[in-house]
Amino acid sequence: MEKKIALELRGISKHFGMIRANRDISLSLYEGEILALLGENGSGKTTLMNMISGIYYPDAGDIFVHGERAVISSPREAFGYGIGMIHQHFKLVDTFTAAENIILGTAEKYDMRRVNARVGEIAARYGFEIDPKKRVHEMSVSEKQTVEIIKIIFRGADILILDEPTAVLTPQEIEKLFAILRNMKADGKSIIIITHKLNEVMEISDRVSILRKGAYIGTVNTAETDEKQLTEMMVGQKIDLEINRVQIEKKSPLLEIRDLSIRADDGSLAIDGVSFYIRGGELLGVAGITGCGQKELCEAIAGLRPIESGAIIHKGESIVGLPPREIIEKGVSMSFIPEDRLGMGLAPSFSITDNMMLKTYSEGSTPFVDRRSARSRAEALIKRLDIVTPSTETPVRRLSGGNVQKVLVGREIESGPNVIVTAYPVRGLDINSSYLIYDILNEQKKRGVGILFVGEDLDVMLALCDKIMVLCHGRVMGIVHASKVTKDELGLMMTGAVDLTREQKDKHFGIASDSALSPDEWADVGRRPGADRGEADSD
Mean pLDDT of 226-254: 79
pLDDT band at 530 (very low <50, low <70, confident <90, very high): very low
- The answer on pLDDT for 519 being more than 60 is no
Report pLDDT digits (tens) over 148-179.
999 999 999 999 999 888 877 778 888 999 99
Kindly provide the residue ranges of all beta strands, DSSP E only, lying in 348-474, ordered along the sequence: 419-423, 450-454, 467-472
Please report the pLDDT score of residue 522 as a whole number: 36
Please report the pLDDT score of residue 360 as a whole number: 67
Look at 198 and 190; give whichever has higher pLDDT: 190
CA gyration radius for the chain? 24
Mean pLDDT of 308-313: 95
The Cα-based distances of 187 to 32, 157, 250, 431 in angstroms read 7, 12, 54, 32
Report pLDDT digits (tens) over 399-420.
876 788 788 888 888 777 888 9
Please report the pLDDT score of residue 43 as a whole number: 84
**SS3 of 477-507:** EEEEEHHHCCHHHHHHHHCCCCCCCCCCCCH
Phi, psi of 506 (to 5 degrees): -80, 90
- The answer on pLDDT for 124 being more than 80 is yes
Mean pLDDT of 226-243: 80
Please report the pLDDT score of residue 506 as a whole number: 46
- The answer on pLDDT for 533 being more than 80 is no
Collect all residues with Cβ–Cβ distance below 8 Å to 42 and sequence separation of at least 6: 213, 214, 388, 400, 402, 403
The domains found in the chain, sorted by start residue, are 5-235 (3.40.50.300), 242-333+417-539 (3.40.50.300), 347-415 (no CATH)
Please report the pLDDT score of residue 385 as a whole number: 84
Phi, psi of 119 (to 5 degrees): -60, -40
Mean pLDDT of 374-392: 89
- The answer on pLDDT for 367 being more than 80 is no
Please report the pLDDT score of residue 485 as a whole number: 92
Specify the DSSP element, H or E, that contains 381. Answer: helix 371-385
**Sheet of strand 467-472, all strands in order from the earlier edge strand to the far edge:** 334-337, 419-423, 450-454, 283-287, 467-472, 475-481
- Average pLDDT of the chain is 84
Report pLDDT digits (tens) over 493-518.
998 888 988 755 444 455 555 543 43
Please report the pLDDT score of residue 511 as a whole number: 56
Instruction: Enter the pTM of the model.
Output: 0.70
Mean pLDDT of 381-406: 84
Mean pLDDT of 264-287: 93
pLDDT band at 18 (very low <50, low <70, confident <90, very high): confident
What's the CA gap between 512 and 531, in Å, rounded?
Answer: 18
Report pLDDT digits (tens) over 22-54.
999 999 999 999 999 998 877 888 899 999 999
pLDDT band at 108 (very low <50, low <70, confident <90, very high): low
Select the highest-mean-pLDDT range: 99-108, 258-267, 426-435. Answer: 258-267
Taking phi over 0 as left and psi of -120 to 50 as alpha, with beta for the rest, 496 belongs to: left
What's the CA gap between 221 and 206, in Å, rounded?
Answer: 6
Q: Are 334 and 421 in contact (CB under 8 A)?
A: yes
- The answer on pLDDT for 196 being more than 60 is yes
Mean pLDDT of 287-301: 89
